[in-house]
């Protein structure tokens, strides 16, 4: 069964630092996959999100990988990711001129120039943030555009490398079969909800005086009305001082 993912349009550019700190990432659609083989060869869990704007296609990988390893000899043999795109979505049985392959390791070694990427590692895995210019893809972005996509992960543990993908193509042959990839659709723009304004209101000195004056008068009236000397008239005396 072919899988699909919709990339929402981001209203602002993404800073490629591997942190995935922009709030728009939390609103991006995602897909999560593990090694579908039985028994699984890799114990990694991979979550991929996508966004786009008129300049770049953005892809983020969040990989749970307790053992991270890279030696820099062969890209596919190190911990890292692979991404395939069929920009014309012509579903050819083998890769042709409109198909794109990206390999990137946790050391940010890549097979492509012009692609901006950054990986951050941690004790539980790594995050990878990628910006692919549309000029590199030789494609024009427009809402509703559909492209073929294949997502894959490379896992190296104790010098042993394995690869797996979200369509499980690895079990029946190579990745280079666009007719068996999934679909990526360029969707509508993300609706960004601004955070609530927590700034306390500012009251001018004239407003403060206006608000205080009526209460001051009321308090004075109450004091006068309840005073034991309130409204007491001086006794009449016929004697002159």
Distance in angstroms (rounded) separating the CA atoms of residues 68 and 161 = 11
Instruction: Scan for tokens 């190579």, then name that residue.
Output: 174
Residues in CB range of 198: below 8 A, 6 or more apart = none
- pLDDT for 238: 46
**180-213 per-position pLDDT tens digit:** 999 999 999 998 766 677 777 766 566 555 655 5
Q: What's 178's DSSP letter?
A: G
Q: What DSSP state is assigned to residue 148?
A: E
Token pair in block for residue 103: 């390999």
Backbone Cα Rg of the chain: 33
- 121-157 core/surface letters (b: 16 or more CB in 10 A; e: else): beeebbbbbbbbebebbebebeeebebbbbbbbbbbb
Query: And the tokens for 117?
Result: 């990427």
Q: Are 45 and 127 a contacting pair, CB within 8 Å?
A: no
User: How many helices, marked H, and strands, marked E, lie in the chain?
Assistant: 2, 11
What's the pLDDT score for residue 129? 98
What is the DSSP secondary structure assignment for residue 189, as one 8-state letter? E
pLDDT digits (tens, 9 = 90+) for 210-234: 655 565 666 666 666 666 655 444 4
Q: What is the C-alpha separation between 7 and 166, in angstroms, rounded?
A: 17
pLDDT surpasses 70 at 94: yes
d(CA 43, CA 166): 14
Is the preceding peptide bond at 216 cis, omega within 30 degrees of 0?
no
Burial of 105 (0-12, 13-18, 19+ CB in 10 A): buried
pLDDT of residue 163: 97
> What residues contact 152, with CB distance under 8 A and at least 6 apart?
81, 82, 83, 84, 163, 164, 165, 166, 170, 175
Tell me if 133 sits within 8 A of 56, measured CB to CB.
Answer: yes
Over residues 78-85, mean pLDDT: 98
pTM score: 0.80
Task: Check residue 28 and report its DSSP letter.
Answer: S
Between 2 and 97, residue with greater pLDDT: 97
pLDDT of residue 147: 98
Provide the token pair at 6.
């919709």
pLDDT, tens digit, 9 for 90 and up, residues 132-191: 999 999 999 999 999 999 999 999 999 999 999 999 999 999 999 999 999 999 999 998
């Amino acid at each position: 069964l072919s899988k699909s993912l919709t990339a929402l349009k981001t209203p602002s550019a993404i800073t490629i630092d591997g942190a995935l700190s922009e709030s728009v990432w939390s609103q991006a659609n995602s897909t999560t996959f593990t090694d579908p083989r039985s028994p699984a060869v890799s114990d990694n869990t991979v979550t991929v999100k996508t966004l786009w704007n008129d300049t770049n296609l953005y892809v983020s990988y969040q990989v749970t990988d307790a053992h991270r390893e890279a030696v820099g000899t062969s890209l596919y043999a190190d911990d890292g990711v692979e991404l395939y795109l069929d920009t014309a979505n012509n579903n050819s049985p083998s890769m042709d001129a409109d198909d794109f392959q990206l390999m990137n390791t946790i050391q940010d070694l890549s097979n492509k120039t012009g692609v901006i990427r950054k990986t951050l590692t941690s004790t539980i895995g790594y995050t990878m943030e990628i910006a692919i210019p549309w000029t590199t893809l030789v494609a024009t972005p427009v809402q509703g555009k559909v492209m073929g996509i294949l997502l894959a992960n490379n896992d190296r543990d104790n010098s042993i490398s394995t690869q797996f993908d979200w369509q499980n193509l690895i079990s029946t042959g190579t990745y280079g079969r666009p007719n068996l990839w999934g679909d990526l659709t360029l969707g509508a723009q993300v609706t960004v909800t601004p955070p609530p304004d927590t700034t306390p209101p500012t009251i001018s000195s004239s407003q403060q005086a206006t608000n205080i004056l009526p209460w001051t008068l009321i308090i004075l009236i109450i004091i006068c009305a309840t005073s034991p000397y309130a409204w007491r008239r001086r006794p009449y005396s016929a004697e002159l001082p």
